[in-house]
Structure 1
């Protein structure tokens, strides 16, 4: 018979077991115990074994295979063990392979099936494939950590068949992963890690989740998610460390529906949110987010650039492009939704572990320090009492300012265009610098909608006509959009055509002195135009001509919230009554007006405007007093 049967019960302490001594030893300093049931084929010759159970340092292993000593000079080992702990398994490997396996830490025992094949005469490293499986394990990786992770997979040291078996030619494959991260369910069909010297990972992740679960997952201080549900399908390919847009690829799709997003700083809520978010390498596309703000529907499309910075070491912020459209936009509500900075309010929740904690911190930092571009289209816009139609706007937002670059809207039969910058100059104090142009808007409506521009007179009840205006002004405002008119500085020129001054107190009170039989309650004029200066809330009206259906006069003076001081020049040519066919035409403010009566409208100590004669033109003298002093000096 050519078969010899060898059976023995013995304990063997392995001091070193190497296929290639330069690569280190397997099972170093481990005790082998058990019944050795061996067969030796004399003809081949070969030492064979089948289903032989040997304990290695008390951990049972089942061995199959053999050593072939003939012309083949090879060996093959098939080794199976159940419920082995990863930390113990690493002590059975060479130090280099143990380091590669140590990329992940598994908190529950694994079932492992290993195949090792190679040459008995040295040379190349042996072929190694180790399949593993575990259930309900804590899994820690350099990127993120999972709870209740169930998966299977394998380690292989020959990715390219026929090439040298090295760490660079090795891979780890994880399959059928089902786990949870911070309550968020995660599934992956395949996770592949190649080149264990410089690990490169390819991973697909899917999740079906509630938005509350996603909120726990993100743990961002910027907003809170509630209600609704979502689906995630994500593919990442790139390194585990030193991630950049050049060496990494992220692709995916996130679907959300029936969600509610509440901003932490203002508690402003976006409700009934539904969207599809496409992730394409370093960009994110928001494919039509529909939601409601304070009951008004709104549609948002977006593109976020440089999102790889969220997982890499790119110092630049995320660039976010938004397109917003809605039937109606209420800026009072929208201003609480879009802010230049994310709030500092902190959530008292569990901390992230693994590399994802850095990702979430980067997300908040890069968003708050990134740049936002917003295009807005709305059928109607509201701001306090102001209403207009066909809004088209373009603005940019960064961590320190808002820049409104192009804005146009239709106001009644006229139109308005605005460019502006808003910058936080002190805590909760914002400075607005603006250029505004109005063409043929209804004067009384504009005055009413802007609360009479902070003036006690004239009010919207006193004005009629079509107004055109160009202004360059700055003033301070609060976070709620309330203006501080005491900080108003700049200049404006305006024109009101085909208008009227109705029950305008300074004109009506002229009857106390002049033209007692004339009706001053409805004074029609062809055009009123002037240049106005603003200085810290003080409004200076330069010499302005009013040529009306009742009389001609010239007005100049100052006005503020607390005080009015206006000089009215009434030429004596007004003594002649004007008939119904008279067409008012301005002669120009450069004209002296001829012989005139001067009247002064000035606020008294009670805050009421009093009209009195100014025979010595005290207003003009006080206005020119300082230059005269300088002349004498």
Structure 2
């Protein structure tokens, strides 16, 4: 072995021996001078304590903490002078390990460079008056740089550790409560001229992190683990913290924080970054009041989140929050809606208005570059926001362009089906989020459909090549550029609903849609679906905001009223043709009120007022009509002979004027219900003829077997009838014709019950029209023999006989 190596080994051995002897000596010194050393430790610690410091016992730990001497202090208590009043012990440690500088110990001084606290409670308490038990600590003496080992110098820790320690900051005055169960905290410190720097590992359970106990705790019952790098700048009074990452629960965060100790309430700022975190996991980290609002929404996939938290440990207000999120190709669930393929940039802050306090009511969620799909409808929101999380209100600009057929997903096959064409939506909206059925929303903008085919399901109405524009202006709805085509009918319309947004949900029956309608040709049979009862119609009760938007839209269409002012060039209905038609119609929840109807028909004109009331399969109507100088065959043929079988258009010739006041029923297909008509009918015929009218022909065979009654010319005829189902009461009626004169009175039964009295002069009135004096013609009318005949039904057959009950009133 080389000589130099032998010498080196001997030196090392001597050093080790001396070191062991030094440690053994220090340990023996402490053991034999326990009271003295305990007093020295107490005195050193007591330099920073203004209150009670109690150390129950002290034991040296041989070789632990080498090269320093390690002591275990047991049952350590630190209490301020006001303990008996508030009962909060600042420190209660079952085991308090310290490491002492060995050389300083032999000089008679205590230099503590390591502290390990185990099984302890640390409770920093502030009462409602602002008094804190941290008053137990005296203000730090300024470090004497020239002689750092001097006993008057404050202790400088180099290493520290905490195990099984509960750390609490309870501020009753400012409603703050921070409580952590420290499982493990280990670190070391260095002391540059500017202050100190520490690196440590932390493993704690956050029991409470309430900046405002009235509103709940952040990261409550979450485990926090991470490696921290911290520093303190003595001149600025700033503590900086950096950890990459800090695991909060199962989520890693990059954190940078700063605590400004020289501000009155120790202001702080914390910045967090999480690249991938689930929405629910993020909401579980905030206070209950914020969590409640955030949990109204959810996202299926992880999102990128950053958070800036600024506040102070004094004052009772919330910290300032500024949270950002980046969402891409996600699924967003909101109250009442699910948004697919969702992407946006989001910002949350609880300072929407700078001049108001930080609170839920002053909070806002801002969304930019929002894209998504709702029920297969793609849309964008360039800028949107949800303001006031106490009563959330959503605002934004909603835009969407898509094939009109995509509306079928949205309408859920409940209101209408679309095929072909395009839809374009551009809306500025303001809507209630919690009452997500849009409680009195504010909407401005337009909805446009072009060149689409529409099947309106509740009425079985099919429209093709349809276009319309809905414009929301303040509270009103304006409908423009509407083109509807059903079969051969083409209709153009303009409409308006005043105060639409205020009554849409709460009172749909108060909605009044005013229409101006024009059509070159209208085929009424193509719109007979509106006579039928709505398929699956909602119950006629106040729905409020209880149903979906689609159901409510259907309710509005059915229960809302429409006031229609129509101008139609030609109107067709089966055999009926009218020109220059105009009408004012008012639809109600269960019918139509008809006003000021006027048409030209059969060479004359018709005017009508009345109503049609919908029922179960049958629809009741009540009409007042005025018919002026219409061609009778055309008129009767157009109205299907008004349900009459024996008196039809084929029996008539000439011109008719009439007044009616009738009620009746009509089927969903638009056919008159047989025997349903009741009311009064006043007729006035001019230049008329009665052709092949069987009842008179029967009388003619009995009374005038040699006269031809197939063509009876009637220059003037005025008559009054009372219709009651299948029974028509004929008021006394004088028929003066070219073939015979007849006075008729009685009841004509369409099916049975006919009983008609006829007074027929036997003279031939063929030349009576030559008499110009009306009085003379009237006197001559019943000259000669008069036959009194009765036509009545007997055993289901029509019988003609003498009227034995006739009373002669001519005398």
TM-score by length of 1: 0.86
Cα pair 1:233 1:254 within 8 Å, conserved? yes
Please list, as runs of the form range in 1=range in 2, the aligned pairs for 1:550-569 lying within 5 A after superposition: 550-562=739-751, 566-569=756-759
Structure with more contact order per residue of length (Cα contacts < 8 Å, sep ≥ 6): 1
Residue 142 of structure 1 is matched in structure 2 by 335
Which among 211, 215, 218 is matched to residue 408 of structure 2?
215
Q: Distance in 1 between matches of 2:571 and 2:296?
A: 56
Which among 243, 248, 251 is matched to residue 56 of structure 1?
248
Task: State the Cα deviation string for residues 340-361 of structure 1 (Å, max 9, x = none).
Answer: 6421299xxxxxxxx8953223
Alpha-carbon distance, 1:230 to partner: 0.2
Q: Distance in 2 between matches of 1:49 and 1:20?
A: 23
Residue 85 of structure 1 is matched in structure 2 by 278
Q: Distance in 1 between matches of 2:213 and 2:498?
A: 51
Residue 491 of structure 2 is matched in structure 1 by 298
Which among 76, 96, 100 is matched to residue 293 of structure 2?
100
2:410 match: secondary structure: helix
Higher mean alpha-carbon deviation, 80-89 vs 562-571, is at: 562-571
Alpha-carbon distance, 1:487 to partner: 2.3
Alignment partner of 1:287 is 2:480: yes
Q: Distance in 2 between matches of 1:539 and 1:527?
A: 21
Q: Distance in 2 between matches of 1:236 and 1:340?
A: 36
Please list, as runs of the form range in 1=range in 2, the aligned pairs for 1:230-629 lying within 5 A after superposition: 230-241=423-434, 248-265=441-458, 267-304=460-497, 307-308=500-501, 312-314=505-507, 316=509, 318-336=511-529, 338-339=530-531, 341-344=533-536, 358-424=548-614, 427-505=616-694, 512=701, 521-562=710-751, 566-572=756-762, 574-575=763-764, 578=767, 581=770, 585=774, 593-598=782-787, 600=789, 602=791, 614=801, 616-618=802-804, 620=806
Task: State the Cα deviation string for residues 566-601 of structure 1 (Å, max 9, x = none).
Answer: 4443335x3576288555958899999354332648
Alignment partner of 1:25 is 2:214: no
Task: State the Cα deviation string for residues 283-309 of structure 1 (Å, max 9, x = none).
Answer: 432213112111321123333456547
Cα distance change of structure 1 residues 429 and 316 upon mapping to structure 2, 3 Å threshold:
closer
Which among 144, 153, 156 is matched to residue 349 of structure 2?
156
Cα distance change of structure 1 residues 429 and 40 upon mapping to structure 2, 3 Å threshold:
same
Cα pair 2:331 2:341 within 8 Å, conserved? yes
Cα pair 1:445 1:460 within 8 Å, conserved? yes
Q: Distance in 2 between matches of 1:150 and 1:85?
A: 15
1:168 match: secondary structure: coil
Cα pair 1:541 1:557 within 8 Å, conserved? yes
Alpha-carbon distance, 1:333 to partner: 1.2
Cα distance change of structure 1 residues 154 and 279 upon mapping to structure 2, 3 Å threshold:
same
Please list, as runs of the form range in 1=range in 2, the aligned pairs for 1:71-82 lying within 5 A after superposition: 71=263, 73-82=266-275
Residue 187 of structure 1 is matched in structure 2 by 380
Residue 365 of structure 2 is matched in structure 1 by 172
Q: Distance in 1 between matches of 2:241 and 2:486?
A: 73
Q: Distance in 2 between matches of 1:571 and 1:273?
A: 65
2:405 match: secondary structure: helix
Cα pair 1:550 1:578 within 8 Å, conserved? no
Q: Distance in 1 between matches of 2:583 and 2:704?
A: 50
Which among 392, 407, 414 is matched to residue 199 of structure 1?
392
Matched positions, count: 609
Cα distance change of structure 1 residues 52 and 221 upon mapping to structure 2, 3 Å threshold:
closer
Cα distance change of structure 1 residues 465 and 509 upon mapping to structure 2, 3 Å threshold:
same
Q: Distance in 2 between matches of 1:546 and 1:87?
A: 92
Q: Distance in 2 between matches of 1:326 and 1:66?
A: 75
Residue 350 of structure 1 is matched in structure 2 by none
Residue 352 of structure 1 is matched in structure 2 by none
Cα distance change of structure 1 residues 265 and 202 upon mapping to structure 2, 3 Å threshold:
closer
2:635 match: secondary structure: helix
Residue 164 of structure 2 is matched in structure 1 by none
Cα pair 2:382 2:397 within 8 Å, conserved? yes
1:432 match: secondary structure: strand
Higher mean alpha-carbon deviation, 167-176 vs 281-290, is at: 281-290
Alignment partner of 1:129 is 2:315: no
Alpha-carbon distance, 1:159 to partner: 1.5
Alpha-carbon distance, 1:273 to partner: 0.4
Higher mean alpha-carbon deviation, 193-202 vs 355-364, is at: 355-364
2:669 match: secondary structure: coil
Cα pair 1:341 1:368 within 8 Å, conserved? no
Alpha-carbon distance, 1:155 to partner: 0.9
Q: Distance in 2 between matches of 1:435 and 1:107?
A: 64
Alpha-carbon distance, 1:201 to partner: 2.2
Cα pair 1:321 1:373 within 8 Å, conserved? yes
Alpha-carbon distance, 1:606 to partner: 12
Q: Distance in 2 between matches of 1:207 and 1:131?
A: 26
Cα pair 1:76 1:116 within 8 Å, conserved? yes
Alpha-carbon distance, 1:424 to partner: 4.0
The RMSD of aligned alpha carbons is: 3.5
Cα distance change of structure 1 residues 590 and 559 upon mapping to structure 2, 3 Å threshold:
farther
Task: State the Cα deviation string for residues 535-591 of structure 1 (Å, max 9, x = none).
Answer: 22112222222233454332334333335654443335x357628855595889999
Alpha-carbon distance, 1:528 to partner: 0.6
Q: Distance in 1 between matches of 2:648 and 2:313?
A: 103
Cα pair 1:543 1:589 within 8 Å, conserved? no
Cα pair 2:739 2:764 within 8 Å, conserved? no
Structure with greater Cα Rg: 2
